[in-house]
Amino acid sequence: MPDGVAALEKLGVTVPAIEAYPFRGVRFVSGGLSAEAVFPYGFALGIRRTNLHRVMVERAEKAGVRFRWHAVVTGLDPDGVVVRGELLRAQWIIGADGSSSRMRRWAGLDSHRRRNERSAFRRHYNVAPWGNFMELHWGRCGQLYVTPVGPEQVCIALITRDPSLRLDEALTEFPEVAWKLRGAPHGSIERGAVSLTRKLARVTNGRVALIGDASGGVDAISGEGLCLAFKQAELLAEAVAAGDLRGYQRGHRTLARRPALMADLMLLLEHRHELRERVMRAFQIEPRLFARMLATHVGAASMLDLAGNGLALSWKLLTV
């Protein structure tokens, strides 16, 4: 999303145009209804994760980071971490090892206040994008994302509460997307992951700090996971420079509030078909409502604006 692009650039990382595909807004599709809005500023980027990783590694190396590929950390030590049975001394230890973080367990930070789990599956298709928007299609089985990632490729992602469901089966519920993908060669194999909403009690303990999915997260429906990690990185760097992780603990909680609230609002529509239909009709009749909601989603409007937009939407729902 645009706020994620901006956060990445603040870290000194610029994605080359050849590595990504820009899009200008978001479109919601549910049944025969659709609503769309452009971003209030900038643009979003659809990018293959492998391309993003390469760009970030190159930037880190230029900044002086030394990578120890394939060096597995097997435990914590009072003076650092254990790598291949040997002590690697460290003043600060950052756990960035994903949603199943071992560092989180070792540091005694696994206690969480909230947890909700869904499944996600994705595959790339070699077909030209059919629009300049990221599309979110709502169905009975979950949500289907269509994101352009290149001039001749789109990424199709399914988020569902059914871990046994796969893309080929799910696409039968989204005939509009299935028709546009017909005959398109696969650009990757289907891969799956867990989409977790998790709020930890703490993300720091002594010299250890967690970041990214290791530090909790919001449901993938928000599209804000990477953006959160980039913003956390800047905040954590400031805390390390100051020699005090308490600011990171406070700021981490603040950063997560807006994405978590937006994810909760979107998930409210997941199984409430009648409510979702009324909301979609309201967005169609009053496109500015959707545009304001999108502005809040990417951080261009305040939570007070969100409250006002919610009141306007509630009033509109009474008339559609």
pLDDT tens string 38-84? 999 989 999 999 999 999 999 999 999 999 999 899 999 989 999 98
pTM: 0.87
Residue 114 has pLDDT above 70, yes or no: no
Q: Where are the domains of the chain?
A: 2-115+195-317
pLDDT for residue 316: 60
How far apart (Å, rounded) are the C-alpha atoms in residues 232 and 237?
8
Strand residues in 39-129 grouped as ranges (E): 44-47, 73-77, 80-83, 86-89, 93-95, 112-125
pLDDT for residue 314: 62
**Residue 75 has which token pair?**
């435990």
As a whole number, the mean pLDDT across the chain is 89
Q: Which of 94-98, 232-236, 297-301 has the lowest mean pLDDT?
A: 297-301
* Nearest-10 crossing angle of helices 303-317, 246-268: 10
**Residue 252 has which token pair?**
């981490």
* 104 to 83, 94, 107, 216: CA distances (angstroms): 17, 10, 5, 10
Instruction: Tally Cβ neighbours within 10 Å of residue 320.
Output: 14
Q: Which residue has the higher pLDDT, 207 or 265?
A: 207
CATH of 2-115+195-317, one of 1.20.1250.20, 3.50.50.60, 3.40.50.2300, 1.20.1600.10: 3.50.50.60
pLDDT band at 148 (very low <50, low <70, confident <90, very high): very high
pLDDT for residue 109: 92
